Amino acid sequence: MAGSQWLRCVLVLAMAVLGVQAIDIDVSSEDSIKNAASIAAYGMMKHYKGNESGEIPGKIPNTWWEGGAMFMTLIQYYHYTGDSTYNSEVIQGMQWQAGDCDYMPANWSSYIGNDDQMFWGLAAMTAAELNFPDSSDGYSWLSLAQGVFNTQVARWDNTTCNGGMRWQIYTYESGYTMKNSISNGGLFQLSARLARYTSNNTYYEWAERIWDWTTTTPLLSNSTWNVADSTSTTNDCSTQGDDQWSYNYGAFLGGAAYMYNYTNGTGTKWSTAVSGLLNRTLDKFFPSSHGGYIMEEILCEPLEVCNNNEIIFKGLVAAWLAYTAYLVPSTYDSILPKLQGSAKGAAATCTGYGNNTCGVRWWNNTWDGWSGLEEQMSVLSIFSVNMLPYTNSSAAPLTSSTGGNSTSDPSAGTDDSSKDKATLSTITTGDRAGAGVVTVVFAAAWIGMMGWLMIG
């Protein structure tokens, strides 16, 4: 018997001895949803070391952008549940990585891509919209989002393909010749959210520019509503990399929902966009083969080849679907059952290690052996957004005229200078072993010995 197979058998036997317990979630109970989200949040934060002595706040080993996604998830968790347990970690990490109010910190700026920076900008925008507590001595959340916007639109590339955002910032980065959906869709969404929050039409004009350009390329079809992953400057953006990732759809859908809300639903452009993208998203990523109500990352889950980045995508889409339900009320009845079905499916996977560790494949009805910060992050997001029925319109993203109190700085990020940035110590890659192994070590050792005797 191969070593990995033997270890898997040992783990299964150990789980049988200790018993397994999924997270119990009743989507018809506000308290049950909050409790489930609390368990998932705790499981996620066991993997985060940035709040420990000698570590770097906001930095997750082997990645930088995921810190922004994690904090965005925690901001939403606080908003939906009122649990402030992790607020200090969010504030510390988001300010530590802020750079010169633009999320281009010195230690990571040499390899940051446009999409990486953009996710931190969306996290800051989320904090502004949800009135997340301010830092006592740092940048305002709104100014950080504006700083990302200002530095990104300055990179709008008219030299190839008549416009668009490249995937990467620097010529030496792999992927510099690509213009991709998440960089353009993310900036489109950030622009739309800034327009709605500030009522500054410059942001709206940029959102329209990004959308209109994207629909002239293979990235986004406004007839079939297919969203491709990428296109290339080497052939003037005439072909596409058509990998189907949920967060590409979600980025454009969320942005279109903000544009619809900002324009009060006038005209048909944004209502058509929301309807087209929503229907395609629900059809594609909630496959009928699993009942039609559980989200799946269709490109990587069936073959169990999802990497850490891809594991997060469903959680991002869950958040953007919830925003769409708030901002475009006619979509609520279509979206809510999908969020509820996905939450129930996700909860069923949280049986790992006997301590509610969650897996990747929510349609699997049991833990699939995957574990980590990313798995917990997506599950936390799908649990949190199931608070949708227990909130009202006041829980929708705020604007400066409906209670949002974050301070604006329209020129944020425009005086970025690397010489002003502090240099941080380098963090070594940490051990990513699944949390909770200690709870089964004695049982596993005993069962392993018995298994060895039986097969010897």
How confident is the model over 126-141, as pLDDT tens digits? 999 999 999 999 999 9
Query: Rounded to an integer, what distance in angstroms lies between the CA atom of residue 251 and that of residue 182?
Result: 7
- The residue with tokens 């005993």 is 446
Domain assignment of residue 447, yes or no: no
346-373 residue pLDDT tens:
999 999 999 999 999 999 999 999 999 9
Which letter does DSSP use for residue 220 in this model?
B
CATH number at residue 367: 1.50.10.20
Greatest CA span in the chain, whole angstroms?
74
Q: Phi and psi for 240 in degrees, rounded to 5? A: -135, 150
Q: How confident is the model at residue 14 (pLDDT cuts 50, 70, 90)?
A: low
Q: Are 132 and 75 in contact (CB under 8 A)?
A: yes
pLDDT for res 394:
73
Q: Which long-range contacts (CB under 8 A, 24 or more apart) does 210-216 make?
A: 210/165, 210/184, 211/252, 211/255, 211/256, 211/259, 211/273, 213/162, 213/163, 213/164, 213/184, 214/164, 214/181, 214/184, 214/185, 214/188, 214/252, 216/162
Domain assignment of residue 59, yes or no: yes
53-63 residue pLDDT tens:
999 999 999 99
Query: Rounded to an integer, what distance in angstroms lies between the CA atom of residue 387 and that of residue 29?
Result: 9
Residue 16: C-alpha distances to residues 1, 11, 19, 444, 448 (Å): 20, 9, 5, 10, 13
HSE toward the beta carbon, residue 228, CA cutoff 13 A: 21
174-194 residue pLDDT tens:
999 999 999 999 999 999 999
| Cross-sheet strand order for the sheet of 178-180 | 178-180, 230-232, 240-241
Question: Comparing 267-281, 309-323, 343-357, 382-396, which segment has the lowest mean pLDDT?
Answer: 382-396
pLDDT for res 212:
98
pLDDT for res 412:
97
What is the pTM assigned to this prediction?
0.88
Domain assignment of residue 1, yes or no: no
Query: Rounded to an integer, what distance in angstroms lies between the CA atom of residue 217 and that of residue 236?
Result: 9
Domain assignment of residue 225, yes or no: yes
Q: Phi and psi for 264 in degrees, rounded to 5? A: 60, 30
Residue 353: C-alpha distances to residues 251, 305, 349 (Å): 34, 21, 11
Query: Rounded to an integer, what distance in angstroms lies between the CA atom of residue 84 and that of residue 60?
Result: 21
- Structural domain containing residue 394: 19-440
Query: Rounded to an integer, what distance in angstroms lies between the CA atom of residue 97 and that of residue 342?
Result: 32
Domain assignment of residue 381, yes or no: yes
Query: Rounded to an integer, what distance in angstroms lies between the CA atom of residue 40 and that of residue 45?
Result: 9
The overall average pLDDT reported for the chain is: 89
Q: Exposed, middle or buried by CB within 10 Å (0-12, 13-18, 19+), for 223? A: exposed
Query: Rounded to an integer, what distance in angstroms lies between the CA atom of residue 184 and that of residue 308?
Result: 22
- The residue with tokens 């049988």 is 16
Which letter does DSSP use for residue 225 in this model?
-
Domain assignment of residue 366, yes or no: yes
Question: Comparing 96-100, 190-194, 364-368, 439-443, which segment has the lowest mean pLDDT?
Answer: 439-443
Query: Rounded to an integer, what distance in angstroms lies between the CA atom of residue 420 and that of residue 438?
Result: 45
Q: Which tokens sit at 115?
A: 């999409």
Domain tally, the chain: 1
Domain assignment of residue 162, yes or no: yes
pLDDT for res 122:
98
- Buried b / exposed e over 91-111, threshold 16 CB at 10 Å, is bbbbbbbbbbbbbbbebbbee
Domain assignment of residue 452, yes or no: no
Pairing of strands 178-180, 240-241: unpaired
Query: Rounded to an integer, what distance in angstroms lies between the CA atom of residue 170 and that of residue 37?
Result: 39
